[in-house]
């Protein structure tokens, strides 16, 4: 099964790019982030015509996550547990049946957290604590599962072009890095790093200052796998070429192949 994650930075604005990529890459399951539309405005019909079932947790103008799957989506959960008063659409989870069993899939869009010292950074860390709790709970199911999406964390110096540029950014703070690391220490595996230890491989390039042309990027989009999914991991790669397409997102897809 080919699973993927992509922060599309407005699904309606990038619909031609997204459909082109879906036809070209043909993932079985893809998690989208920053769809930036309500559920009823999501271009469901376009994706259904391509053979995908859709689960959507949208929000007007901001945020929004979705899961597209060529297999039926079951046990769909919208919203990250523990945040009953949280109106941000940042998490959706579902179960997908493969040829050899099931895999639990979650589309994750973690808060940015900037500027430092603001309520936004406090919210980011609190949200990551809730994600940690859900990640721990999923592990108790002892099944293949993937947390996929834009985590808005730069894990190490090797995941950005110049650490000095990001030193005062919320994505690069020790607290942010620790929040991601504690999830991994529960037993979740960074699928890309399990397959490729090459430093300075990125998933995001800003639209400004020629970042793409200069390869001044960061790696903030991940596929995290439970041990049961890691045991079945075949490949994981970053589809960098999409950033050079017309009207691109500032993020690119991450694709993993799982024997499930």
Long-range contacts of 174-183 (CB under 8 A, 24+ apart): 175/125, 176/113, 176/124, 176/125, 176/128, 176/152, 177/153, 179/125, 179/128, 179/129, 179/132, 179/153, 180/128, 180/151, 180/153, 180/155, 181/155, 182/132, 183/128, 183/131, 183/132, 183/135, 183/147, 183/224
122-138 confidence digits (pLDDT tens): 999 999 999 999 999 99
Tokens of 245: 């397409």
Condensed to tens digits (0 to 9), the pLDDT of residues 65-104 reads 999 999 999 999 999 999 889 999 999 999 999 888 999 9
> Which residues face 222 on adjacent strands?
149
Per-residue pLDDT tens digits for 164-216: 999 999 999 999 999 999 999 999 999 999 999 999 999 999 999 999 999 99
Q: What is the CATH number of domain 2-258?
A: 3.60.10.10
Using a cut of 0.75, tell me whether the model's pTM lies above it. yes
Domain ranges in the chain are 2-258
Nearest of 52, 53, 8, 29 to residue 145 by alpha carbon: 29
DSSP 108: E
């Amino acid at each position: 099964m080919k699973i993927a994650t992509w922060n599309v930075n407005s699904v309606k604005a990038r619909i031609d790019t997204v459909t082109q990529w879906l036809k070209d890459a043909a993932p079985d399951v893809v998690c989208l982030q920053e769809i930036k539309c309500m559920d009823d405005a999501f271009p469901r019909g376009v994706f259904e015509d391509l053979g995908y079932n859709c689960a959507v947790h949208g929000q007007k103008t901001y945020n929004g996550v979705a899961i597209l799957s060529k297999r039926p989506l079951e046990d769909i959960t919208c919203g990250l547990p523990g945040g009953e008063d949280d109106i941000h659409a940042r998490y959706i989870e579902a179960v997908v049946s493969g040829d050899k069993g099931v895999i639990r899939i979650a589309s994750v869009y973690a808060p940015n957290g900037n500027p430092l010292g603001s309520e936004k950074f406090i919210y980011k860390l609190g949200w990551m604590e809730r994600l940690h709790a859900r990640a721990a709970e999923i592990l108790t199911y002892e099944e293949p599962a993937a947390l996929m999406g834009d985590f808005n964390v730069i894990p190490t110096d090797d995941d950005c072009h110049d650490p000095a540029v990001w030193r005062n950014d919320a994505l690069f703070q020790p607290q942010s890095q620790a929040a991601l690391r504690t999830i991994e220490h529960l037993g979740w595996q960074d699928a890309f790093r399990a397959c490729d230890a090459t430093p300075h491989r990125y998933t995001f390039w800003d639209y400004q200052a020629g970042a793409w042309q200069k390869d001044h990027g960061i790696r903030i989009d991940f596929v995290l796998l439970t041990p049961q999914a890691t045991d079945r991991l075949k490949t994981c790669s970053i589809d960098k070429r999409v950033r050079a397409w017309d009207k691109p997102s500032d993020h690119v897809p991450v694709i993993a192949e799982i024997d499930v």
